[in-house]
Structure formats: C-alpha cells, structure tokens
Amino acid sequence: EPFFTTKQDGKGTGLGLSMAQDIIREHGGWIEFDSAEGQGSVFRIHLPRTSDPENVDDDLHADALIPAQSLESGRGTILVVDDEESVRATAVNMLKCLGYQILEAADGQQALDVLLHSGRQVDAVMLDIYMPVLSGRDAFKQMREAGNDTPVVICSGFVMDPDEFVILGQGHPPPVEIMLKPYSLDALGKAMAKAVQSGREAAPPAGRSAARIPFFQH
C-alpha cells in the first residue's frame, strides 16, 4: 500500500517498499514477507532465472527491458535530498548507474549547508518535499533567496503545483521538472540530464562570473 508508514507525520512517505516492489515487478519477480509483532519482518524477493543464459531469446524481453543505449547517461554531481534512507539509497544507486557523482542530504537544512556553505560543486538537486527539520519547499525558497540557481528536480509522492514553485522562486528559475514517486530509471535519467544541461546552458561564458547574492544566516 503506497504511502503507508509507521513513522510519525513528516518523518516519511512510506514509499520505500512500494518503489522496491515496482523495481522487482519490472524484473518479472515478486516480494513476500512474514511479520511478527514486536520482533520485526522478513522480506523475500523472488526473481526469475534461466538455466541457459547464453541462449536466451533477445526478443522475449524486448518489451520489458530498456536498451542500455537508450538511457540518458550523465556527467556531473547530483545532490540527492530525501529523509527516507531507503528511497534516497535507491535514487543514489540509480544515478550512479547513469554515471553521476553523488552528494546526499537527509533534509532541507543539510541540503542548504551543502549548496550554500560547503563550497562543493553541485550540478543539479534532486529534492524531496515532505521532510523534517526543513521541508523541500522551504529549502527551495531559501536557495533562490540566496541567489543559488542550481537546477532542481522535485521528486515527491504527492502531486505538486508547478505554479507554487514559480512563486517561491521569486523570479529565479523554477524546478526543471516535477517527478512523481515511484519513478523509473529511464524517467529519472531524462529528468536529471535535462536539469544538468539547463544549468550548463545558463552558466556564464568562460572568463566571466555570475553575480551572486550573499546569503546571511539569522
């Protein structure tokens, strides 16, 4: 059941298991579990195998698999911001498969620390919305208020209104894309490639630096 979680409000969306189930189904498998109150749960993942992998008919799986050459490979550094460790880990692994370097943050405040104070180069941000400490909305607003125009891809389990982020951006670039969880590797690759490219196109010519608005903490 998507969005089911035993965590407190604001501590997670409950999409980790749902995303895992979707990935397993894409590979033709299924997941089952046993649970005992007060003891925990055991999950078993079943995936199909072939006894003769060298003679598998390529046409058999043509509709189920995405050709590797059709995936958007990436170059650059992505900051992945999500409070759910399992969801964040899934995104990190997917992006690494596509060729990106990764930085991680568990909430909006950690994301701001990386973007505004760490000196690390970030080419795009993958930003969850509902997080403790500082939400994705507030993090996005404070990024733009600080003059940080790093391209952002919003990833949420809930439908978002794009116009809301136009207002929050106050004239600065809105999110490049808003993706609904769970997402496929293909969709993630295309969104992040679009984000990184938009940042490179907006970068000032060599030898010139963009004006930055100083950020002051209160």
Which of the pair, 73 or 157, is modelled with greater confidence?
Answer: 157
Average pLDDT over residues 47-64: 57
Domains and CATH numbers, the chain: 72-202 (3.40.50.2300)
- pLDDT at residue 167, rounded to an integer: 81
- In this predicted structure, the answer to whether residue 210 has a pLDDT above a threshold of 90 is no
- In this predicted structure, the answer to whether residue 147 has a pLDDT above a threshold of 70 is yes
What CA–CA distance (Å, rounded) separates 158 from 190?
20
Average pLDDT over residues 156-176: 84
Which of the pair, 152 or 3, is modelled with greater confidence?
Answer: 152
- In this predicted structure, the answer to whether residue 17 has a pLDDT above a threshold of 80 is no
- pLDDT at residue 114, rounded to an integer: 96
Q: Which pLDDT tens digit goes with each residue over 89-124? A: 999 999 999 999 999 999 999 999 999 999 999 999
Average pLDDT over residues 173-188: 90
- In this predicted structure, the answer to whether residue 60 has a pLDDT above a threshold of 60 is no
Q: What are residue 180's phi and psi, to 5 degrees?
A: -95, 130
Average pLDDT over residues 39-49: 82
